[in-house]
Amino acid sequence: MNNETLSMVAKVLNTAALLVIGYGLLVRRKPSVHIPVMLCAFAMDTINVLLVEIYARSTKGAGAVEQTVGLMGGSGSMLQYVHVSTSVLCLVGYAVAIVTGRQLLKGVGGRGAHRVNATLFLPTRLVSYVTSFWM
């Protein structure tokens, strides 16, 4: 797969994951559908992290993770900082959703935290998506 194709696949996967998340929200009252759909979105986003890593290595000579560490030195643009931080927060959001979602399933609370996490996760995921087009 050449770099252009890889970049296109990453963009399509990113868009598809966003649509899957939207569908998962529509069916949030049906755990039997909501849970596999959200886990599928998580898997798609995780695969995308790997694709972006491969793409960055072959086009910029350094992987996305390596470049992020480089940005810690203060050499990045505002857009890069926003993209990197929202993307990392999304992964944290998935982890919190899984933990609180499991509590909800077991009937041991978690609804408030699951809702707050969703309210923070969705705008964060949207900002990560929009800024990805400038990376």
Cβ-contact 131, 86 below 8 angstroms = yes
CA 20, 124, 135, 52 torsion-angle sign: negative
Q: For ligand HEM, which residue of 102, 123, 130, 134 counts as binding (CB under 6 A)?
A: 102
Q: For ligand HEM, which residue of 12, 91, 105, 130 counts as binding (CB under 6 A)?
A: 105
Cβ-contact 114, 101 below 8 angstroms = yes
Q: For ligand HEM, which residue of 20, 38, 52, 84 counts as binding (CB under 6 A)?
A: 38
Q: Which residue, among 124, 131, 63, has the nearest Cα to 91 in the 3D structure? A: 124
Q: For ligand HEM, which residue of 10, 20, 35, 84 counts as binding (CB under 6 A)?
A: 35
Cβ-contact 107, 69 below 8 angstroms = no
Q: By CB under 6 A, tell whether 106 contacts ligand HEM.
A: no
CB of 130 to ligand HEM, least distance (A): 18
Residues 107-126 that bind ligand HEM (CB under 6 A): 111, 114-115, 118, 121
CA dist 7 and 56 (Å) reads 10
CB of 30 to ligand HEM, least distance (A): 7
